[in-house]
Chains A and B, each alone.
Chain A
Amino acid sequence: MFPCLGGRRTIRLTATSIFLATFGVLFLGIIVPASADDKNPFAGDAKAAKAGEYEFRINCALCHGLGARGGGRGPDLTRSVKRHTHSDSDMFQVISNGIPGTAMPANGTNGQGVGMTDEEIWQIITYIRSREVKSPAAPPGSVARGKDLFYGDGNCALCHMVEGKGGRFGPDLTGVGGSRTRQAMIDSVRNPSQRLAWGLTEATKEFPQEYESVTVVTADGKTIKGVTLNEDSFSVQIMDSGENIHLLDKDKLRSFQKSRESAMPKYDSDVLSDKDLDDIVAYLVSVGAK
């Protein structure tokens, strides 16, 4: 069976190639301070890590990918810096309770897997720790210059918001640097359509709405281009690049065309140099690490 990915908040996280809902938003509040009893009894135990690998495949790989390298739905867990799970006991709480407002479910409630015992959760944590790759001490790029580019010549902020400043047409990128690898962010800028980002997380749906672009022609002949905020068989809600929301009935449209091409332009290296991109990513990482 399959998780019914839940959550009620609208989460628009990235126009990059990967869904970022998990491990990003809103979960500082649910982390219970660790007590002395919350130490991982298996820390560094290779045998426990192996057992944890099997549990991981059953319970976590659906979203976080084989080898914890990140999947279509959940972030890469091999990053040594995780946004809100600094300690093993933090991680225990997140696995046990999930992250409200995101697709990360509480243990035993996702329909995938069957609920783990405390021992199994610690084994999974031990496994995740064993998979972590240390990131370079000083990642390339200038944070200050990246911020200037983001809000200036890079034109990123026309569509994307970071820490409450910027546009609404694309996903909010405040959390992206804390949950995705540098490479994933670079790939997403160079080839935004490679994997469309995920937008609305609707409690009723198995998967969140995707950032598909859409072109419709209304009954009176008006063409509207934008992204689908949500959609069912009978109605669609679209945001255009001017951030106007259009509420439309499908049976009243002259045409309705969806596309798997992202509304975000491709930033080739002649448009945005590798160095500029490094700076922008450095900026996003600095924000995401907060």
Chain B
Amino acid sequence: MNRAEMRGQKRDDVDVSTSRSTSVRTFLFFLRGVIPNVGAFQPTQGSRVESSRIRIQPAARHPSLRLKNGYAQDDVHHRRVVPMLACVLLVSTVSSAQVTFERLVNSAKEPQNWMTYSGDYSGKRFSALDQINGGNVRTMAAKWVYQTAATGKLETTPLVVDGILYATAQDDRAFALDARTGRPIWMYQRQIPSDIRPCCGHVNRGLAILGDKVFLGTLDAHVIALDAKTGSVVWDKTAADYRTGHSFTVAPLAVKNLIVLGVSGGEYGVRGFIDAYDADTGQRKWRFYTVPGQGEPGHDSWSGDSWKVGGAPAWNTGTYDPATNQIFWPTGNPSPSNRGDDRAGDNLYSNSLLALDADTGKLNWHFQFTKHDEHDWDATQVPVIIDAGQKKLIAQADRNGYFYVIDRASGKLISATPYGKTTWSDSKDSDGRPVANGQASPTLEGHTICPGALGTTNFMAPTYDPQTGLFYVTARDQCDTFSKAPQSYEAGHAFYGSAYFPSEEAEPYLGFLKAIDPATGEVKMKFQHTSPTWSGVLSTAGGLVFSGDAEGNFIAFDAASLKPLWHFQMGGAVYAAPMAFAVDGKEYVAIAAGSAIYAFGLP
């Protein structure tokens, strides 16, 4: 495809009717780090000129273009292909740039690519690549580092398709890199309003890719599509009003021709929702409100008008089962998070796992982990699809300290087992669900409960390794003192109903990587970090588990023993989850830390 064709195609896709899209609010700029204030940069003029300086083609797909733009592509790579990866490379060479739904469903056939937030639809965050393994990981070294120039917490999981890495950073940055070298191909940064109100930093956890576009949910509650080759805005849709505390931090999920994502804003009393947008046009195809409206089932689980500001955001990426065409999406805390007095009832569908029909957004079933939550225990953890023989399961290590295994056909609970320090439940109901004891509620003066508000785990992605049959998750033992205070709702203002703070009695706080057997819920092994970490976890067919720590280390563990085999000091705390990919027959493991993205490989 030549450049003229690319432009033509891009133009066809542009939805010029979209408000506030390309001309005012969104910007392309390609001089990474040179222009700190993108507001001064005109979006359309000049960007194409700049882009022609650094835009390159994926080497494997267009050999004729390999020397274009002065990039010396290394043909030697192709002759050094490791046998294990030969078929992988072949797929890479012939694959189209178009990321089709079929490719996403069959992602196991192209392990060199990482095309969704969790690596595949099941949420396992498992890579079938085994070039880097227990025998050679000690020789692993940094291959490149990409500095994003962003400040705050870098939570992104990169995607890699056919040699190009796509990722995000704070303040709604998105960029494409040569995955072999870390060299930028394009960069996008949105000009976000100064009065956005995200609860927990200007963070973003990643992109979805479908067709020739990547998709970003923004801090000002827009959903935008970017041309995967140029970073140009193709369409830009407003999902909600950011001034009332709506925002997106989630990595969207592409399913069929839909871009699915859930809103953040449980700290502002939003009424949560999960949206699906047509990938071509940006038209919203469905919305599922996570707090039922009047006349809908579950509405009576809220007293009075509390449902209108009920929270239940949906800010972490769900999973998808192609066999039943169901999306599994978890939801967050009811609002206000720390005081339930004015929202009597179970508060459906807060802190729940929802099974939605992918085409319509209709609810098939729900499972509520924490009823009437008063501890900010969002259930926004990745729900992992696991098949055990004939059993079709979905497993979630919940923020409330229990590991749940659920029948994903029926939504019936199979087991709930604590995997960290918990004090809030002493008994289970007839479904086997842990029930809050009388001591659990926050008080005016404060009351200590475990886990604390940060939970036994949080948004950090877990992994399920089909080779060991174990579920690996980052865990924390910390108890908090929870207090409550009456607070009236005011649009766009924090709506917590009080606060929590670490309990001094329960210090120090401990951080772990734990390996759970989903068959029993038993914690089989654990590694204790120096302090609690926010890193997600990756497993690979090389018999390895990868995670990071708060002290800035990236660590490779033996999946069978959780013994650290290798580590590298990245100089910044980890708030992201690792992923793996291969280009030109070479495996890489990548993770974001500090302000940068790191890629590691064998010498």
**Chains A and B form a bound pair:** yes
Q: Chain A interface (Cβ within 8 Å of chain B)? A: 1-2, 4, 53-55, 57-59, 61-63, 65-66, 71-72, 109, 111-115, 117, 120, 195, 202-207, 210, 231-234, 260
A4–B199 CA distance with the chains assembled, in angstroms: 13
Tell me whether A204 and B531 are in contact (CB under 8 A): no
Tell me whether B594 and A1 are in contact (CB under 8 A): no
Tell me whether B573 and A195 are in contact (CB under 8 A): no
Q: Which of A2, A53, A72, A234 contacts B553 (CB 8 A)?
A: A234
- Interface digits, B436-463 against A, CB 8 Å rule (1 contact, 0 not)? 0000000001100000011000000000
Tell me whether B199 and A57 are in contact (CB under 8 A): no
Given contacts A2-B454, A204-B572, A232-B530, contact A114 B268 (CB under 8 A): yes
- Chain A residue nearest to B593 in the complex (CB): A204
Please give the distance in Å from A233's CB to the nearest CB on chain B.
5
B256 at the interface (CB under 8 A from A): no
Given contacts A114-B197, A232-B549, contact A204 B571 (CB under 8 A): yes
- Chain B residue nearest to A67 in the complex (CB): B445
A117–B555 CA distance with the chains assembled, in angstroms: 41
Q: Which residues of A sit under 8 angstroms from B500, Cβ to Cβ? A: 62
Q: How many residues of B contact A (CB 8 A)?
A: 48
- Chain A residue nearest to B574 in the complex (CB): A204
Please give the distance in Å from A94's CB to the nearest CB on chain B.
20
Q: Which residues of A sit under 8 angstroms from B241, Cβ to Cβ? A: none
Tell me whether A54 and B594 are in contact (CB under 8 A): no
Tell me whether A54 and B501 are in contact (CB under 8 A): no
Q: Which residues of A sit under 8 angstroms from B594, Cβ to Cβ? A: 204
Q: Which residues of A sit under 8 angstroms from B540, Cβ to Cβ? A: none
Tell me whether A206 and B550 are in contact (CB under 8 A): yes
Q: Which of B197, B481, B487, B552 contacts A54 (CB 8 A)?
A: B487
- Interface digits, B486-522 against A, CB 8 Å rule (1 contact, 0 not)? 1100000110101111101001110000000000000
Tell me whether A233 and B501 are in contact (CB under 8 A): no
Please give the distance in Å from A68's CB to the nearest CB on chain B.
12
B485 at the interface (CB under 8 A from A): yes
Q: Which residues of B sit under 8 angstroms from A260, Cβ to Cβ? A: 508
B10 at the interface (CB under 8 A from A): no
- Chain A residue nearest to B197 in the complex (CB): A114
B178 at the interface (CB under 8 A from A): no
Q: Which residues of B sit under 8 angstroms from A120, Cβ to Cβ? A: 493
Given contacts A114-B197, A233-B551, contact A206 B494 (CB under 8 A): no
Tell me whether B551 and A72 are in contact (CB under 8 A): no
Q: Which residues of B sit under 8 angstroms from A202, Cβ to Cβ? A: 551
B34 at the interface (CB under 8 A from A): no
Q: A1-B200, A114-B494 are in contact. List 4 more A-B contacts (CB 8 A).
A: A66-B501, A111-B200, A195-B504, A207-B509
A72–B198 CA distance with the chains assembled, in angstroms: 27
A-facing residues in B548-594 (Cβ within 8 Å): 549-553, 555, 564, 567, 569, 571-573, 594
Tell me whether B552 and A232 are in contact (CB under 8 A): yes
Please give the distance in Å from B268's CB to the nearest CB on chain A.
7
Given contacts A66-B445, A204-B594, A206-B531, contact A58 B550 (CB under 8 A): no
B308 at the interface (CB under 8 A from A): no
A79–B388 CA distance with the chains assembled, in angstroms: 61
Tell me whether B572 and A57 are in contact (CB under 8 A): no
Q: Which residues of A sit under 8 angstroms from B501, Cβ to Cβ? A: 61-63, 65-66, 71
A195–B506 CA distance with the chains assembled, in angstroms: 12
List 9 tightest A-B contacts by C-beta distance, closest first.
Answer: A1-B200, A232-B551, A204-B573, A57-B499, A62-B501, A114-B494, A61-B499, A57-B498, A204-B552
A85–B27 CA distance with the chains assembled, in angstroms: 42
Give the number of residue pairs across the A-B interface with Cβ within 8 Å: 100
Q: Which residues of A sit under 8 angstroms from B481, Cβ to Cβ? A: 66
B285 at the interface (CB under 8 A from A): no
Q: Which of B199, B531, B553 contacts A1 (CB 8 A)?
A: B199
Interface hub of B454, B496, B499 (most chain A Cβ within 10 A): B499
Please give the distance in Å from B177's CB to the nearest CB on chain A.
24
Please give the distance in Å from B466's CB to the nearest CB on chain A.
27
A252–B594 CA distance with the chains assembled, in angstroms: 28
Please give the distance in Å from A69's CB to the nearest CB on chain B.
12
Q: Which residues of B sit under 8 angstroms from A232, Cβ to Cβ? A: 530, 549, 551-553, 569
Given contacts A61-B499, A72-B504, A232-B552, contact A113 B530 (CB under 8 A): no
A58–B494 CA distance with the chains assembled, in angstroms: 8
Q: Which of B197, B198, B485, B530 contacts A233 (CB 8 A)?
A: B530
- Chain A residue nearest to B444 in the complex (CB): A66
Tell me whether B153 and A4 are in contact (CB under 8 A): yes
Please give the distance in Å from B140's CB to the nearest CB on chain A.
15
- Chain A residue nearest to B551 in the complex (CB): A232
Interface hub of B153, B532, B550 (most chain A Cβ within 10 A): B550
- Chain B residue nearest to A212 in the complex (CB): B508
A109–B507 CA distance with the chains assembled, in angstroms: 25
Could you jot down 5 A-B contacts, CB within 8 Å? A58-B496, A61-B483, A66-B481, A117-B493, A204-B552
Please give the distance in Å from B170's CB to the nearest CB on chain A.
12
B61 at the interface (CB under 8 A from A): no
A105–B594 CA distance with the chains assembled, in angstroms: 18
Please give the distance in Å from B516's CB to the nearest CB on chain A.
21
Q: Which residues of A sit under 8 angstroms from B498, Cβ to Cβ? A: 54, 57-58
Tell me whether B529 and A233 are in contact (CB under 8 A): yes
Q: Which residues of A sit under 8 angstroms from B477, Cβ to Cβ? A: none
B201 at the interface (CB under 8 A from A): yes
A4–B534 CA distance with the chains assembled, in angstroms: 11
